[in-house]
A and B are shown apart, each in its own frame.
Chain A
Amino acid sequence: MSDERQEPDRVDLDANVSHYLCIGCPLGCRLEVEEEEGEIVEIRGQSCKKGEVFARQEHTDPRRVVTTTVAVEGGLWPRLPVKTAGDVPKDAVVDVCRLLHGLRLDAPVSIGQVIAADVLGTGVDVVASRDLPRR
C-alpha cells in the first residue's frame, strides 16, 4: 500500500488546479482547488464540509499559529515558550521566529504576558505560554 500523503501540498500538474492534503481528520483527503481568472470555480476531493473550508482557506490565505521560545535571564529554565495569540500569514512564520530569537527577557514572566505586540504588523500579539518564575 502506498501512502500518497507524502506528496507536497501543491503540485502544479495543471496550472489552474492546486492540491492540498486535508488536515481535518486521519482520512487525509486529497483536495483540489480549481481556479479560473483568479476565482475559485471548484473544490474537489473532500468527503465533508471541513475539507472544503480548509481548501478554500489554504488556497486563498494560509495561516499558522507560531510557537517558539525566547531567551530569558534568571528564570527556572533559560527559555520561555511563546505563541502568537492568533494565526498569522504562513509566509510570516519564519520572520516571526527570527525576530523573537533576537529578544532577551528577564524572569519572572506571567502566562499571557505580551512579548511582542502586533508582531511584524500582523495585528497579532506574541504572548507567553506559561508563568516562568525566577530561579
Chain B
Amino acid sequence: MSESRTIKVEALTRVEGEGGLHVTLDGDVIRDVKLSIYEPPRFFEAFLQGRPLTDVPDITARICGICPVAYQMSSVHALEQALGIRITPEIRRMRRLLYCGEWIESHALHMHLLHAPDFFGVHSGIELASRFPDEVSRGLRLKKHGNELLEALGGRAIHPINVAVGGFYRAPRREELQRLIPDFEWGLDAAITATRWVATLDFPDFTRDYEMVALSHPDEYPMNEGQIASTAGLQIDVADFEREIEEQHVAHSTALQAFRTHTTDDGNTGDATCYHVGPLARIALNFDRLSESARRTADEVGFDASVRNPFQAIIARGLEVIHAYEEALDILRDYRPFRPARIEYTDQAGEGCAATEAPRGLIYHRYAVADDGTVTAATIVPPTSQNQRQIEEDLRDWLPRILDNDEDRIADDCERLIRSYDPCISCSTHFLKLTIDRRPQ
C-alpha cells in the first residue's frame, strides 16, 4: 500500500502569471491534473465595449506588459478588417519590424533569465550570470536590442504608443532606425552563438504527439498574416477560428481554456481535443520559411520541423531570434520614411477578426463596431489559454517518469515543464501552488 502524501509548492516562478497546480494520485496512478489559474480577472472584453475604436490598441496592450505588440497587432488588423481598411506594403513591413522587436525582447528574456537557469540547477538568471557571465550578458544585450527597436519604432518598449488603427501615428525618421544597424549586425551573430549554446543543454528525453497549431503563410515566416494550419491537416481562414476552436470556462481557472472542436460541415462537433501553440508549432509548420541563417543554424544543431520535445522550445526561440534579427536588418537597411504613415478611414459599422503570432503563440481577436466608431463587442483568445489544457496533458504523461523522486524534486520538474511553454498566465500574479494528494491504495 502506498503512503498517502500531499506535496505543496507555494510558487511557480520565472513565468508571467498566477496559477496553481493540483495533482491527485491514488498510489502512483494519476487521477487528476489541474493547472489552475486564479490571477484576478480584469475584464478587458467588458470595458472595451463602448470605447472609441481608436483606443483599442492602447487598451489591449495593457493585457500584457511582456507582449503588448501582439495585442496591438491583433487588434488593429481585426479593426481594419471591420472598417475595410487596406494598409500599404510599407505599413505592413513596419509592423513586421515591430513584431521582430517584441520577439527578440521576449525570447531573449525567456531563454536567458527564465528558462536557462533550469538546466544548471540555479534559481535565477542573476545567479546564472555568476557562472556564465558571457552568456547571460550576451542575452541581456540581445534583449536590450529588442527593446531599442521597440523604442525607436513604437516610442517605448512596454506599451508602445505609435501603433494606430490604419498604421502608425508617425513614420520613424531614417536616422532613428539606421543607428540600430551596427547593433543588429552584432546581434545576428550573437543570436546564432546563443542558439548554439542553448542547443547543447541537457534535455529530458520527452517527446509528445502534439497537434501543432500556428499561422502559416506561403511566402513568409508568419507574424501578422496567414491561414491557421495544424500538423493534423487543419487549414482554415482566420474567420473560421471560432468554428474550430471553442473556449470553455472551468472552475479552477480565471482564464478560459480553448479546445479544438472538430466541427464537421454539417455543424456537428466531435470530441474536444487540446493543441499546442508557440515557437515549436510555428517552426513545425513553417520551417522552410525561416531566414537563411536560422535554417543553417537549425541544420547545424540538428533541429527541424519534427521536434516535439517541449523542453526544446528554448532552441526554437533561439532560431526565431536569429530570424527576427535577419529580417529586421533587411528592413532597417532599406528603410525610407513613408507616407501616409496611417491610412485615413471613415467610421462604419462592421465586424472583423485577426490572428497573429505572439511570442508565446497564436492570438485571436474579434471586434464589432458601430457606425459611430464605438466598439460593441470584443473577443480575445490569448496563447496561454490555448496551451493550458495541453500543459495539463503533458503533465499527465510527465508525472509517471518523475514520481519516484522526492516531493521537492517532483514539484521542480513539473515547474520546468510548465515553464518551457513560457506561459503568459501573466497579466496577473505569480503563484503556482502545487498540491499533490496521494490517496492510499
Partners in one complex: no
Residues of B within 8 A of A (CB): none
Residues of A within 8 A of B (CB): none
